């Protein structure tokens, strides 16, 4: 098989307020651990097969999938040569694209057939046929973006869910509720509907994502793990270790060795910091 370049692309103007930049990548074959992801992601299998472990057994993913945010590691397997397109949804914007609440899809994924009907299901089928018919990633990406644009156009009057600016995520729930003119219980319900988890859980995951960013950028090499834990507000190093294992499946030592080595299973952690921001926003994974 000839070498194929991976690439990142910007969304069209009509989708720019809903999704991040997209990525087309050829996956290394074999098994790997998918780190927890804070926001939903559209996944398109341009070629090949991906299977993900599930409580009911390993499941093959559909060509067009909506993957929910996750607060745990997922074990996956890709056939050699599998090529994918990923497109992360910006915080609180999923309902501007599809009628599927972020809370309902947390820690799971669904094929487009599960939430589209009528004309939209037919459009998704034609998109899938176009992806199958071509092996040119740019044309495949254009077909999928055209489908999303059509979905967005039908929901053009719909606003996003509650979105908390990153700078405000450190405020107390009461202060945030006041900021949005809501009661505490109402704020908590709307936050979970928008982010798929509680504010406390999101903060924990966000902090671990910031630690991962320091690992990827190489900044962590200048500090001991104990200092790193203190810098990011952990009580001690053991709490940092616990979160890294929970959200990545690896200990700090395993992560650092994997990023520095050539094990293809660590490809998610070799995305550059700049590309990470473009693909997933300032919060990272």
Q: Where are the domains of the chain?
A: 7-154, 166-264
The HSE-up count of residue 60 (CA atoms within 13 Å, CB side) is: 7
Q: What is the mean pLDDT of residues 122-134?
A: 94
CATH second-level architecture of 166-264? Answer: Orthogonal Bundle (1.10)
pLDDT in tens, 13-60: 999 999 999 999 999 889 989 999 998 999 999 999 999 987 777 889
- Whole-model pTM over 0.75: yes
Within this chain, domains 7-154 and 166-264 share the same CATH topology: no
CATH number of 7-154: 2.60.120.10
Confidence of residue 145 (pLDDT cuts 50, 70, 90): very high
pLDDT in tens, 178-226: 999 999 999 999 999 889 999 999 999 999 998 888 877 776 665 688 8
Give percent of the chain with pLDDT exceeding 90: 56
Residue 136 has what pLDDT? 93
Residue 227 has what pLDDT? 86
Residue 219 has what pLDDT? 66
Confidence of residue 249 (pLDDT cuts 50, 70, 90): very high
Give percent of the chain with pLDDT exceeding 70: 96
């Amino acid at each position: 098989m000839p070498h194929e370049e991976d690439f990142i692309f910007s969304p069209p103007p009509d989708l720019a307020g809903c999704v991040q930049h997209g990525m087309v990548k050829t996956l290394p074959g074999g098994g790997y651990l998918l780190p927890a992801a804070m926001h939903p992601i559209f996944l398109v299998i341009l070629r090949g097969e991906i299977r993900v472990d599930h409580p009911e057994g390993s499941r093959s993913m559909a060509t067009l999938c909506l993957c929910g945010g996750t607060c745990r590691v997922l074990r996956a397997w890709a056939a050699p040569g599998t090529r994918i397109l990923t497109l992360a949804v910006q915080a609180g914007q999923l309902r501007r694209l599809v009628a599927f609440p972020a809370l309902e899809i947390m820690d799971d994924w669904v094929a487009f057939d599960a939430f589209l009907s009528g004309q939209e299901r037919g459009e998704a089928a034609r998109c899938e046929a176009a992806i199958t018919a071509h092996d040119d990633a740019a044309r495949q990406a254009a077909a999928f973006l055209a489908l999303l644009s059509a979905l967005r156009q039908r929901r053009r009057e719909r606003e996003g869910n509650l979105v908390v600016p990153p700078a405000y995520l450190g405020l107390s729930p009461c202060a945030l509720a006041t900021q949005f003119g809501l009661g505490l219980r109402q704020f908590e319900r709307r936050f979970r509907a928008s982010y798929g988890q509680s504010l406390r859980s999101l903060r924990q995951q966000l902090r671990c994502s910031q630690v991962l960013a320091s690992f990827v950028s190489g900044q962590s090499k200048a500090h001991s793990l104990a200092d790193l834990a203190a810098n990011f507000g952990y009580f001690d190093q053991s709490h940092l270790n616990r979160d890294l294992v929970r959200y990545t499946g690896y200990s700090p030592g395993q992560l650092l060795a994997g990023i520095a080595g050539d094990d293809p299973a660590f490809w998610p952690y070799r995305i550059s910091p700049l590309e990470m921001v473009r693909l997933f926003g300032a919060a990272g994974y």
